[in-house]
Structure 1
Amino acid sequence: MTGLLDGKTILVAGVTMDSSIGFATAKVAQEQGATVLISNFGRALGITRRIAKRLPSEPPVLELDVTDPEHLAGLEAAVREHTDHLDGVVHSIAYGNPETLLGGKFLDGPWEDVAQAVQVSAYSLKSLAVACRPLMSGGGSVVGLTFDATTAWPAYDWMGVAKAGLESTSRYLARDLGPDGIRVNLVSAGPLRTLAAKAIPGFAELEDMWSTRAPLGWDNTDQEPTARAVCALLSDFFPATTGEIVHVDGGFHAMGA
């Protein structure tokens, strides 16, 4: 049986725990025939190397801090140690200091922490795409992960602003990379119990909203529907779609009340 991603090589950047969307995406991509590389950095790199063994096929693990110019400059060479090209890149990266930026701290969030959140969560999509661009000479797909930034959410605060920046960045990237045949899209997932979500004070309030308003229902422990959407966008089934945000949230975003 032919897989959706047969013959494709995909980099999933930002895989930490096996409860993450990045891990689920790497798993589904492998099951759909892709060759996968994953990345992380710093203290989390050791965790990534351990959980990589839980994937169907243990992938190469690259060290990549998307805020480090040296790491970005060396990414092409690091990837070429394993493959001569990339067909797709997944940006599964976000960070905002939960002690200063989340959980009702919007009016007090210091600029230094806001700047870090915007760099890691939004600007890095551009940084990663540009670093991978020489590896995608045949075109390809860049897919990032967002949490609907069109409204103000309880507890999400400055991360909501960072995600709004991510969504705008994806549209400008779609404009500038389109002539290279590179598509840039985002998947907007409902609340999932990932490591990142656990760090958000008051996250349970968001989860409670989904349980009553999503018409398809919502399982906040199941990352696979989101991972499948990411893999669909990485595939050849969306050849003329770019600058788009695909919602995987049980339909919550479409409901007024």
Structure 2
Amino acid sequence: MGILEGKKILVAGVLTEQSIAFSVARIAQEQGATVVLSNFGRALSLCQRIAKRLPQEAAVVELDVTNTEHLSTLADRLREHVDGLDGVVHSIGFAPQEAMGDGFTEVAWEHAATAFQVSTWSLASLTQACRPLFGDTASVVGLTFDATVAWPVYGWMGAAKAALESTSRYLARELGPEGVRVNLVAAGPLRTMAMKSIPGSSQFEEAWEGRAPLGWSVTDTEPAGKAVAALLSDWFPATTGEIVHVDGGFHAVGV
């Protein structure tokens, strides 16, 4: 019997088999969960294809977190596949190329605003959209890239991740009385579509190779996926507002 036996989980933002979100969906199914995936636009067809590569084909719903109609109808559309939700995985992030790289102070508000709306505000809006489906307890888990420091080339996505981490704490504070836990997993650099879109991201890989005490594989999403699955389970009943680092120990050591 798996640690997610009988649970219903939405994994938002699944795009490729190389993504953390795909690993989460696969592990969740292997641990007994019913999984629903989401994406939108051109990525929706990719998500539908990916859904067939899971141990059991998962249902897919369309969700653009910048579309208020998608958010307002999400609960009803999810009810076509599940009768409630025990967990939500927020694997959503985007910043225009203009918002990353050098020239942090030169970035126009419209580009920074996109990064914040898609990567930060969406954690709150997605949680709110799913709230009618939560029972006595639920777990919301998001993905971050350690925002306690400034990184090269990450630009306004780094600032959006810092805001995401703060947002998770505010959500934990507000939703805790309803039995809803909100936590984040901070994974090390992985060769996902998100990381590949960052100019100069090879710098992250080089840093991890030399500093992570446990070592680090930039192609292995399973450790992060397992951490998310654990937080979705009942094995962390009193943990909320937390950031779990899955980075080979990189965050804990200096040079």
Corresponding residue for residue 39 of structure 2: 40
Correspondent of 1:143 among 127, 141, 144: 141
* CA distance in 1: counterparts of 2:86 and 2:248, whole angstroms: 29
- Report 1:205-220 matches (<5 A): 205-220=203-218
Corresponding residue for residue 66 of structure 1: 65
Corresponding residue for residue 152 of structure 2: 154
Shift of 1:18: 1.1
- Report 1:192-207 matches (<5 A): 192-207=190-205
**Residues 225-251 of structure 1: CA deviation (Å, up to 9, x unaligned):** 000000000000000000000000000
* CA distance in 1: counterparts of 2:9 and 2:20, whole angstroms: 15
* CA distance in 1: counterparts of 2:84 and 2:3, whole angstroms: 18
Length-normalised TM-score, structure 2? 0.99
Length-normalised TM-score, structure 1? 0.98
- SS of 2:61's equivalent? strand
Corresponding residue for residue 5 of structure 1: 4
* CA distance in 2: counterparts of 1:212 and 1:256, whole angstroms: 11
- SS of 2:186's equivalent? strand
- Report 1:32-181 matches (<5 A): 32-98=31-97, 100-181=98-179
* CA distance in 1: counterparts of 2:139 and 2:151, whole angstroms: 29
Shift of 1:110: 1.0
* CA distance in 2: counterparts of 1:175 and 1:155, whole angstroms: 32
- SS of 2:182's equivalent? strand
How many residue pairs end up in the alignment?
A: 255
Shift of 1:88: 0.2
* CA distance in 2: counterparts of 1:184 and 1:212, whole angstroms: 32
* CA distance in 2: counterparts of 1:137 and 1:233, whole angstroms: 17
* CA distance in 2: counterparts of 1:167 and 1:66, whole angstroms: 18
- SS of 2:136's equivalent? coil
Percent identity (aligned):
64
Letter of the 2:60 partner, please give it: V
Question: Cα distance 1:53–1:213, how it changes in 2: closer, same or farther (>3 A)?
Answer: same
* CA distance in 2: counterparts of 1:140 and 1:62, whole angstroms: 20
Letter of the 1:14 partner, please give it: G
* CA distance in 1: counterparts of 2:252 and 2:111, whole angstroms: 32
- SS of 1:67's equivalent? coil
Shift of 1:102: 1.4
Letter of the 2:246 partner, please give it: V
Shift of 1:105: 3.3
* CA distance in 1: counterparts of 2:100 and 2:120, whole angstroms: 17
Q: Which runs of 5+ in 2 are unaligned?
A: none
* CA distance in 2: counterparts of 1:236 and 1:48, whole angstroms: 28
- Report 1:6-21 matches (<5 A): 6-21=5-20
Shift of 1:126: 0.1
Shift of 1:252: 0.2
Structure 1 residue runs of 4+, over 6 Å off?
A: none
Shift of 1:17: 1.0
* CA distance in 1: counterparts of 2:10 and 2:49, whole angstroms: 18
RMSD: 0.7
Is 1:241 the counterpart of 2:239 in the alignment?
yes
Q: Which runs of 5+ in 1 are unaligned?
A: none
* CA distance in 2: counterparts of 1:62 and 1:138, whole angstroms: 24
Shift of 1:137: 2.6
- SS of 2:132's equivalent? helix
* CA distance in 2: counterparts of 1:115 and 1:143, whole angstroms: 23
